[in-house]
Amino acid sequence: MLDPTLDAITVDGVSKRFGSLQALNDVSFGIHQGEFFGLLGPNGAGKSTLINAIAGLLRVDSGKLSILGNDVRSDFRAARQNLGVVPQELVMDPFFTVRETLQFQSGYFGIRNNDKWIDELLDQLNLADKADTNMRRLSGGMKRRVLIAQALVHRPPVIVLDEPTAGVDVDLRQSMWRFIRRLHAEGHTIVLTTHYLEEAEELCDRIAIIDSGEIIALETKQDLLDLGLGSKLLIRATRDIETVPLELQGKVVRCEAKDLELSFHRENDSIMEILDRLRAASIQIDYVSVVNDSLQDVFLRMTAKQGGS
């Protein structure tokens, strides 16, 4: 029985240096049980280093990490039993079939007679017709499905998905997310890293953004979106726009023929004032629309401030 007072994952003052590179710098946060948690950051931000540390695959210089209260170093066996990790890299033994790979993984966790759950994983991940196929004969997308099945074969309460949909087709992405949503609904904690920010925006309850080895934001999805307070003002004029008033030129995102796109800050800018300035410049407006910031907009703005790419 899980203890509801424990975080699913606890990261406490974790630092890691590789030579002159400070990959993680005093990182601390907790992921609650049952959360769908997003860990986002640009390339080289420290996401993979942190995940490898959580999985016990590298030793940090300082700080502590635990899975459901079990330290990943001193209580490694218990921590690993509670954790399933889907890595970015396609790493697997080419000499086994898909089913043998999952049976071997079950044995690693001391689980016997696991065929019923293996069959369900094969079915849910559209691998049933490949069950007896040798791993080296699978496509990259099929191999990634097997990695997901391997991570789930021991039914871990905490699941980490490190770029799970990188390079996979739309059908796999949709079927995989249906299954992951089901696991989340059943109480599993899901941690997602992805460069497809629309996935994080759709799926995650709370999001951390890491850049240059430090957590620069840790908010609910809605609070994070509200941090930007930004929008785009889309304007269609009745005829081609020749000039934009000088005081609005710093807000221009795009100006093509009759279409004008302006950046818009909900706290500081007045839509009516902007429209009045345009009309004063003899720009007759036919249509106006406001498009709120997406998670990608907020992410790019925040990581740009940090010098991220």
**Can you tell me which residue has the tokens 């065929």?**
115
Return d(Cα 54, Cα 56) in angstroms, integer. Answer: 5
Two tokens, residue 80: 């690993």
Write the burial class of residue 94 (CB in 10 Å: 0-12 exposed, 13-18 middle, 19+ buried): exposed
pLDDT number for residue 309: 38
Residue type, 204: C
Residues in the chain: 309
**∠38-206-36 over CA atoms, to 5°?**
60
Q: Which two tokens stand for residue 113?
A: 């007679």
Q: What is the DSSP letter of 239?
A: S
The one-letter amino acid code at 227 reads L
**Residuewise pLDDT in 10s, the chain (309 residues):** 567 678 999 999 999 999 999 999 999 999 999 999 999 999 889 999 999 999 999 999 999 999 999 999 999 999 999 999 998 877 777 789 999 999 999 999 999 999 999 999 999 888 999 999 999 898 888 888 899 999 999 999 999 999 888 767 777 788 888 989 999 999 999 999 988 888 999 999 999 999 999 999 999 988 888 776 567 888 999 999 989 999 999 889 889 999 998 987 766 778 888 888 999 999 999 988 888 778 888 888 788 766 543
The Cα 23–Cα 15 span in angstroms is 7
Q: Which of 216, 218, 158 is nearest to 192 (CA)?
A: 158
Question: How much of the chain is in helix, strand and coil states, percent to nearest 5?
Answer: 35, 30, 35
DSSP H or E run through 33: none
Closest CA to 24 of 64, 54, 60: 60
